[in-house]
Structure 1
Amino acid sequence: MFERTTRQLRLTDEGRLYLQHCRQALQSLDDARAALSAEKKEIRGKIRVSATSDFGRHVLRPWLDEFTTRYPQVVPALLLSDSLSHLIADDVDLVIRFGVPPDSSLIARPLAANRRVLCAAPSYLKRKGTPTHPAQLGDFDHIVAGQTGWSSEWRLQCGEESLLFKVPLEAARETNDGAVARQWAIDGHGIVLKSIWDVSADLAAGRLSRVMPDWHSTEAPVHALYPQSRYLAPRVRALLDFLRERFEKASREIVDADRHA
């Protein structure tokens, strides 16, 4: 099961397979206990949630604090990664992501609308100027967050007009961590395309400014994802209801902020 050297101890392939089955067995026991609790309508226990790094830190983390204030017997575990976690292997109850991954084994529940917007630090725009049309973006510095490919192709639309801007990667700052990309933008290193959920607080506080506010990416709604085979414990159902409520309230606040911008 283990490979031992003088410096480290690591699992063999067989050990990793055995560990995965052990995790599934423990999850089945946890689901069974949750089913018994459901008869008593108890909302309690550990809930494991996966989210992207930026959204998880700046939006979901304080929301989970609100949720556990409402349900003090629930203990959160927040796993942050910009890649899609494997729900079974990582023992995750709920994954929050923008868009829906091409995985038919997952149930996807829409939580809120979402769009990606261009933004940059006010200091950067004062120094470099502000583009008024996507055709001018090539004259500016760029920050790319995510997997190279889709993340470097900014598909922008304004009414009936649409345009594809391909970021010149040889001169762009790149990272697979959305929080790093956001911080680079705040620090004045260029223009970034980010989910409105990731940057709404920065826009409200003046740390970032919208660039070409009439232009944005196509919708990639926020979804909650979970396996079809997994029993939804009362705590998970309660969190889904709470998130729908919280997203609805926050969506209204974002719309109001856009109207007064």
Structure 2
Amino acid sequence: MTLRQLEVLVKVVEAGSLTRAAGVLRMQRSNVSRALAELEAELGVVLLDRTTRRQSVTEAGREVYGRAVGILEAVAETHLLTQRLHDDPRGCLRLTCSVEYGMVVVGPLIEGYLARYPQTTVEVEYASRDIDIVHEGFDLAIRGGPLPDSSLVARKLGRFDYGLFASPAYVAARGAPETPEALGAHDVIHSSGQDVRPVWTLHHPQRAAPVRVEGQPRLRVNTGAAVRSAVLQGLGVAPLPTVMARAYVAQGQLQRLLAPWHPASVPVYAVYPQSRHLSPKVRAFVDLALSAFSAAESGEGGPR
């Protein structure tokens, strides 16, 4: 019996199929099937009832799965303890985030991380969905906004401040709104993950009560990067992170509208699995991100 065979069993049970487990483990499906068969032969029991359409875990399989999870967690903890003796980040850091957070947060951080820690490598998966980082084998995720309740650790890095932006061409053609209520007459670039109609709550630093305004959705897209691209093309008005828009404003490609009115800031978190011993490679990346956000909020720079 090998640790790899136990890992294969755990991933197959958690993924629900050999094919999905093979993707997580980065193995051929035939090798996953072989590892399971060898484990079953060594233990003398059937762990999974497999058919062409579905699989189910046997009673023996559930028992072995529970023991395997405990063994693998103990091995991982032992590895982390020995890494802490070195205390030098090393190995491959696997992280995931959205495309827009990759552009604004992760991309600039990776360069500094790799330069500072030469014994590390980084693998990033940009995704429009929230990946299950435990089952899919990621060390870390960068996420924004309210987080669902889970067993994961969420470390707040900082926040993204937002503003309303449009291109100079759009403003020349349609004019700039002078009050929040005037946005109702403007075209809006809308994220398809939001409500059917965009309703923005705008805040003012000198007013206690925010203002809710509704725009006319001219275009719906499904990522923040696509929203920014549409605004740059002059298709309408949209909220953008100020750190994302800053360079385009400096180059004359975007204009901020209605300042100092602004949408609510969005908190940004580093999310990772619970562990008594956080690995040096994860801790180093989180510390670097915390420093970057701290510098941005003190006016010394952006997340980088």
After TM superposition, is the score higher than 0.5? yes
Counterpart amino acid of residue 62 in structure 1: P
Q: 1:14 and 2:17 equivalent? A: yes
The residue aligned with 2:297 is 251
Q: 1:187 and 2:233 equivalent? A: yes
The residue aligned with 1:37 is 83
Q: Quote the Cα distance in structure 2 between the aligned partners of 1:198 and 1:98.
A: 15
The residue aligned with 1:78 is 124
Q: Quote the Cα distance in structure 2 between the aligned partners of 1:234 and 1:151.
A: 45
Counterpart amino acid of residue 48 in structure 1: R
Q: 1:144 and 2:147 equivalent? A: no
- 1:1-56: per-residue Cα shift (whole Å, max 9, x none)? xxxxxxxxxxx943257558968979856664343221111211111122221221
Q: 1:163 and 2:166 equivalent? A: no
Q: Quote the Cα distance in structure 2 between the aligned partners of 1:148 and 1:226.
A: 26
Return the TM-score normalized by structure 2: 0.70
Return the TM-score normalized by structure 1: 0.81
- 1:190-238: per-residue Cα shift (whole Å, max 9, x none)? 1011222332332333322111111112232111111224852101101
Q: Quote the Cα distance in structure 2 between the aligned partners of 1:151 and 1:231.
A: 45
One of 270, 282, 293 as aligned partner of 1:236 = 282
The residue aligned with 1:8 is none
Q: Quote the Cα distance in structure 1 between the aligned partners of 2:138 and 2:169.
A: 40
Paired residues, number: 243
SS in structure 1 at match of 2:156: strand
RMSD: 3.0
1:208/1:20 CA distance change after superposition, 3 Å: same
- 5+ residue gaps, structure 2: 1-14, 27-67
Q: Quote the Cα distance in structure 2 between the aligned partners of 1:79 and 1:31.
A: 25
Report 1:70-109 matches (<5 A).
70-109=116-155
1:102/1:39 CA distance change after superposition, 3 Å: same
1:30/1:77 CA distance change after superposition, 3 Å: farther
1:230/1:81 CA distance change after superposition, 3 Å: farther
Question: Bigger CA drift: 133-142 or 18-27?
Answer: 18-27
- 5+ residue gaps, structure 1: 1-11, 257-261
Give the fraction of aligned pairs with identical amino acids, expressed as a percent. 27
1:30/1:229 CA distance change after superposition, 3 Å: closer
The residue aligned with 1:3 is none
SS in structure 2 at match of 1:46: strand
Q: How far off is 1:164 after superposition?
A: 1.8
The residue aligned with 1:127 is 173
1:147/1:254 CA distance change after superposition, 3 Å: farther
Counterpart amino acid of residue 14 in structure 1: S
SS in structure 2 at match of 1:161: coil
Q: How far off is 1:154 after superposition?
A: 1.2
**Higher-Rg member (1/2):** 2
Q: Contact between 1:52 and 1:83, CA under 8 Å: does it hold in 2? A: yes
Q: Contact between 2:157 and 2:270, CA under 8 Å: does it hold in 1? A: yes
Q: Contact between 1:117 and 1:215, CA under 8 Å: does it hold in 2? A: yes
